[in-house]
Structure 1
Amino acid sequence: MKIRGQSYATFKIVCVLLLLLILGCQPKTTPQGKTVKVTRVVSGNTLEVIGLEAQRNFNARVRLIGVDAPDLQQQPWGQTAKQQLEKIVQGSNVLLEFDVQQKDRFGRYQAYVWHDKVLLNEWLVAQGYVLAVARNPNDKYTQQLTRAQESARLMERGIWNPSQPMRLTPAEFRRS
């Protein structure tokens, strides 16, 4: 006779292993894009970079495609997402990979951000620092981001931690 808790834990482990197997079978593509230097991390999903515009010293804002970070006022998640992104990219070079629509309605560039061959959009989702949000027409990595979020949720990482869950999505928080 199995105890319900043990069965659930085994189920979670099997799900994560299957997810990793599926992710491992995905073809790896070499991203193409523009290398820039990060000058500032604005939030968990927005960077300021130089080297993107014709004027090399001009700061341009870049929003990570496919993710929605907790608002900076959503404690502790907004600051945590920003700090984790800062640890990785502050002052370093990153590769920006653009999709169909290069700028959003606010004039910010939209990109997938790569650092040391790691897709940071996906990494932030997988760690539970941000939510995966599909944004058409920019959907090149939507499936990867969705799978990363499911893994974070199953592993109860970050905003999915049941002892301190994020109760409002960033969009709901901004509306409240």
Structure 2
Amino acid sequence: MKMKDVKSLITGGVILIAIALYMVFGQEPPTKEEAESEHIAIEQVERATGKKAVTVDFIKAYDGDTVQVEMDGKKEKVRFLMVDTPEMNYQKGEPMPYAKEGLLYTKEKLMNAREVQIVFDSGKERDHYERVLAYVFADGTLLQEELLTEGLAAVRFINKGNDTLVDEFKALEEEAKADQKGIWQHQNYLQKDGFHPENVN
């Protein structure tokens, strides 16, 4: 083999090694969002809605989808966007099936969180009861996502402008249905007009 051919082989080999090293080590590390792509990150929601997260202080939970917080020095009732949990029925008798489980889940998550944040969507920020409408995060974990995943909530009350995450929420709901988690263990418990406790054995 001629010296020229040897040099060509060496040069080619060095280039291949350099390419391989770049492919292995030269790529940028995955972002936090990519590393946690199985969850809905707060940065993802901020980007999708165009709204910045607001830090609040948790006070108490009324049920799985409604809490009281302190925001800007004022007590506010916050209704979780696009999810519905069974009602506690404080004034009407017994809690609906899975109402206590939803309440305890939300209460535990928010009580033990180092930081509680809410993110508004691009639509109305309050409902007709003057409750704040928002996505609610406990230490970066989206409560709506958790409740849907556990089968403790259903996707409901979808309104234009406040429906940015509707596809993600519906996908989570379908997974919980397929796994027959929580409320989905009982056929016809949830109907178009709401929950029907009489259908839970």
Q: TM > 0.5 between the two?
A: yes
CA separation in 1, counterparts of 2:83 and 2:40?
Answer: 20
**CA-CA distance at 1:166 after TM superposition:** 6.6
- Mapped pair 1:49 → 2:64: no
CA RMSD of aligned residues (A): 2.7
Matches within 5 A, 1:58-69: 58-69=74-85
Among 166, 178, 181, the alignment partner of 1:142 is 166
What residue number does 1:124 align with?
147
- Mapped pair 1:151 → 2:167: no
Aligned length: 147
What residue number does 1:89 align with?
110
Q: Is the 8 A contact 1:125 1:152 kept in 2?
A: yes
Q: Is the 8 A contact 2:83 2:155 kept in 1?
A: yes
What residue number does 1:19 align with?
none
Please, what TM-score do these two structures have when normalized by structure 1? 0.73
**Gap change, CA 1:170 and 1:120, over 3 Å in 2:** farther
- Structure 2: stretches of 5+ with no match in the other structure: 1-36, 47-51, 89-93
Q: Is the 8 A contact 1:42 1:48 kept in 2?
A: yes
**Gap change, CA 1:108 and 1:26, over 3 Å in 2:** closer
- The one-character-per-residue Cα deviations of 1:95-116 (angstroms, maximum 9, x if unpaired) are 1000111000110000001122
What residue number does 1:35 align with?
55
- Structure 1: stretches of 5+ with no match in the other structure: 1-22
Mark the structure with the bigger radius of gyration. Answer: 2
**CA-CA distance at 1:69 after TM superposition:** 0.9
* Larger RCO of the pair (alpha carbons < 8 Å, separation 6+): 1
Among 136, 142, 148, the alignment partner of 1:113 is 136
**Gap change, CA 1:158 and 1:98, over 3 Å in 2:** same
SS in 1 for 2:102: helix
**Gap change, CA 1:94 and 1:172, over 3 Å in 2:** same
| AA of the residue aligned to 1:40 | K
Q: Is the 8 A contact 2:58 2:68 kept in 1?
A: yes
Please, what TM-score do these two structures have when normalized by structure 2? 0.65
**Gap change, CA 1:94 and 1:171, over 3 Å in 2:** farther
| AA of the residue aligned to 2:44 | T
Q: Is the 8 A contact 2:177 2:184 kept in 1?
A: yes
